[in-house]
Amino acid sequence: MTYERAHRIEQRFRRAVALIEAGSADAQRLAIELDVSRPTVHRMVNELRRRGCIIRSVHDEEGWRYELLGKPDEYRISGTRR
């Protein structure tokens, strides 16, 4: 059971990276897509930063959103580089 939970959490982290990388991912949208609360999204982003993802918060005419500038190999899909 513990392994399954840890696996689901890791999948959620990978999905968060993919959503941020795809563009315009604000905390509300990530919360909806990942089925978590906004505070959980903020904790996830902080953890992803701790793990080596370069994520910045950007404010534009639409509000605040996250932008992925770089990520460690563990979050890369085969054949892609960023």
pLDDT in tens, 58-81: 998 888 999 999 998 888 764 444
Structure confidence at residue 1 (pLDDT): 64
65 bridge partner residues: 58
H helical segments located in 1-82: 2-22, 27-34, 38-50
59 bridge partner residues: 64
Q: Which domains does the chain have, with CATH numbers?
A: 2-73 (1.10.10.10)
Are the CB atoms for 66 and 53 separated by under 8 Å?
Answer: no
pLDDT digits over 1-16, tens only? Answer: 688 989 999 999 999 9
Residue with tokens 């897509």, as numbered in its chain: 33
Average pLDDT over residues 32-42: 96
Count of alpha carbons within 13 Å of 2, Cβ hemisphere only?
A: 0
